Amino acid sequence: MSVERTVRLRFGQEARTAGTHTNLSAVRSDGPVLWVAGDETATVERLVADDPRDPAEFRDQTTYRLADLVDLPGTDGAEEADIEGLARHGDFLWAVGSHSLRRRRIKARHTGEKALSRLARVTGQANRQVLVRIPVTEVDGLPTLVRELEVAGVRHRAAVFGAHGTDLRDLLADDEHLAPFLPIPGKDNGLDVEGIAVTGPRVYLGLRGPVLRGWAVVLELRPDVHPDDPGRLALTPFGGGALYRKHVLRLDGLGVRDLCPHGADLLVLAGPTMDLDGPVQVFRWHGALTAEAPQVVRDEQLTREVALPFGSGDDHAEGLGLLGPPEDPRLLVVYDSPAPGRLTDDACVTADVVRLP
């Protein structure tokens, strides 16, 4: 483990009341700011560095509601989207929902038939089934999310895939590997998107589940603006007409918890697909962003970079980003269910800064 130091993330009172600071699931750096998201809201948060060159704290939180930027499928704009990944590329920030089903929890007060009844109930939420692309502009020197943006005479709108018509679960309904897992809740090794990376036209989605006999899955899509609606995304076919590619990675039986581009490679945050604490590893998928065909990723294509800490019932690494100069970056790791020691007396939560080998 190579944790060099920690940085403080300071959230406003409303976010702390909503529990966003203890449910962090995604992070991406963007110059002087961090974009972060929690998995129990339908918002993206912006935090500003106290010192862009060597930040000790990110503060001055601004909340962006997805429902203010795109048309979400849920009947309530506040219904959680379970945002599990953020990516920053070009003029856009991307966000992806988990696309998972969920099983009701047994709580301490539930016993007998009541407990079993809750455990049998599986539900879904429409807002989880989205992939969102949001324009980013600069306002007062800070990256800012907007509904519309004109670049070089071309007007871009915030757009969504999965809110209307076909969504990712529909695409996978006949998939020979993934279709059997669609009715299964995410935390039971069912479909569960937990990472996103974007480069050029390529969007990579990392799956926490299913893990197939030890092989984790990454999907590759090529979304673009829908020809009939600038507020929607449509998928551009690959050669042969396929709307997605599948890559499988040998991650020692772990699933993908996040993806982060680094040069032509992808850094893969890997952790258990089931309700377990660890182990948690960061792997490097060499040449991932230039692959021109579905990949079976193992051996020299995949190297273990670093092991990350995890707790007992807490400190679950969920988001992975890069911090510092491009020539010598550090990993920035945020945690869901942070241990009590990560919560400071002045209402911050700490994230780890980790050296890459």
pLDDT digits (tens, 9 = 90+) for 259-293: 999 999 999 999 999 989 999 999 999 999 999 99
Q: For residue 325, what pLDDT is reported?
A: 86
Q: Work out the pLDDT band at 253, boundaries 50, 70, 90.
A: very high
pLDDT tens-digit readout, 27-80:
999 999 999 999 888 999 999 999 988 899 999 999 999 999 999 987 665 678
Mean pLDDT, the chain, integer: 93
3-355, CATH topology level: Tachylectin-2; Chain A (2.115.10)
Tell me the mean pLDDT in the region 164-168.
Answer: 92
- Residue 312: the pLDDT is 92
What pTM did the predictor assign?
0.96
If you average pLDDT over residues 224-235, what whole number do you get? Answer: 96
For the chain, what is the HEC assignment? CCEEEEEEEECCHHHHHHCHHHEEEEEEEECCEEEEEECCCCEEEEEEECCCCCCCEEEEEEEEEHHHCCCCCCCCCCCCCCEEEEEEECCEEEEEECCCCEECCCCCCCCHHHHHHHHHCEECCHHHHCEEEEEEEEECCEEEECCEEEECCEEEECEEECCCCCCHHHHHHHCCCCHHHCCCCHHHCCCEEEEEEEECCEEEEEEEECCECCEEEEEEECEEEECCEEEEEEECCCCCCCCCEEEEEECCCCEEEEEEEECCEEEEEEECCCCCCCCCEEEEECCHHHCCCCCEECHHHEEEEEECCCCCCCCEEEEEEEECCCCCCEEEEEEECCCHHHECCCCEEEEEEEECC
Read off the pLDDT of residues 174-213 as tens digits, 9 standing for 90 and up: 999 999 999 999 999 999 999 999 999 999 999 999 999 9
> Average of pLDDT values for 92-108?
92
